[in-house]
């Protein structure tokens, strides 16, 4: 399989984001066939359909939609906000789903890693994200699932993932995602 371009979408803009640290660990543990790039979702104005209806798109929309269209797959790494996904991530999903009929997420493989300093591993965010992904026709890796809880205790001061059992679990997850990307790309 040729290397596949995978976009990473982190559902946190926070400087010291645990989710971003986990995303970096996922990249380092992933098979070489996947080539990752972090996609900036923090500069996208809140979606307003007038932009599309009037043909007056913010430049960041055009760049983002083109970027998503060029990817071979998506890795979402997200915290949970109030038992759901952070607005910045939902906004990014919405922006690249429009204008109607031009959903650039469709038909490509995706996977979700949810992250929390608490004990529930952001289960609510993980499962809420599955709802729009279904409608957007992102082909989601169903198993294994991964919910990273108590994340602060798994990282060192530099934000590196040092917990061995989580590293093993995350590596298995990334192996499965790589295999999923291969299966989808061979079926197209
Ligand atoms: C608005 C808001 C709502 C939150 N709601 C939840 C929640 O429902 N569940 C949870 O586990 N953590 C919740 N948290 C705490 C986040 O998990 C915590 O801030 C985490 O560090 C955010 O991820 P990050 O480190 O990648 O920025 C919330 C934080 C904020 C700012």
Rounded distance, CA 173 to CA 60, Å?
A: 32
Ligand 1 pocket, Cβ-based, cut-off 6 angstroms: 12, 14, 17-19, 79-83, 116-118, 120, 122
Domains and CATH numbers, the chain: 4-187 (3.40.50.360)
Ligand 1 centre from 179 Cα, in Å? Answer: 31
pLDDT in tens, the chain (188 residues): 679 999 999 999 999 999 999 999 999 999 999 999 999 999 999 999 999 999 999 999 999 999 999 999 999 999 999 999 999 999 999 999 999 999 999 999 999 999 999 999 999 999 999 999 999 999 999 999 999 999 999 999 999 999 999 999 999 999 999 999 999 999 98
Rounded distance, CA 57 to CA 12, Å?
A: 24
Three-class SS string for 125-186?
A: HHHHHHHHHHHCCCEECCCCCCEECCHHHHECCCCCECCHHHHHHHHHHHHHHHHHHHHHHH
């Amino acid at each position: 399989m040729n290397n596949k371009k995978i976009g990473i979408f982190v559902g946190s803009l926070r400087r010291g984001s645990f989710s971003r640290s986990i995303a970096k660990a996922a990249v380092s543990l992933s098979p070489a066939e996947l080539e990752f790039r972090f996609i900036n979702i923090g500069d996208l104005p809140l979606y307003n359909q007038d932009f599309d209806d009037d043909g007056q798109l913010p430049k960041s929309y055009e760049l983002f939609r083109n970027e998503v269209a060029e990817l071979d797959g998506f890795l979402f790494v997200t915290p949970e906000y109030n038992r759901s996904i952070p607005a910045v991530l939902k906004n990014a999903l919405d922006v690249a789903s429009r204008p109607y009929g031009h959903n650039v997420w469709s038909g490509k493989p995706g996977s979700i890693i949810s992250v929390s300093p608490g004990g529930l591993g952001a289960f609510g965010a993980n499962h809420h994200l599955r709802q729009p992904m279904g409608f957007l026709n992102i082909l989601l890796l169903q198993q294994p699932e991964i919910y990273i809880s108590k994340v602060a205790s798994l990282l060192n001061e530099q934000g590196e993932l040092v917990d061995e059992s989580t590293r093993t679990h995350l590596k298995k997850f990334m192996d499965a995602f790589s295999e999923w990307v291969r299966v989808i790309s061979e079926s197209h």
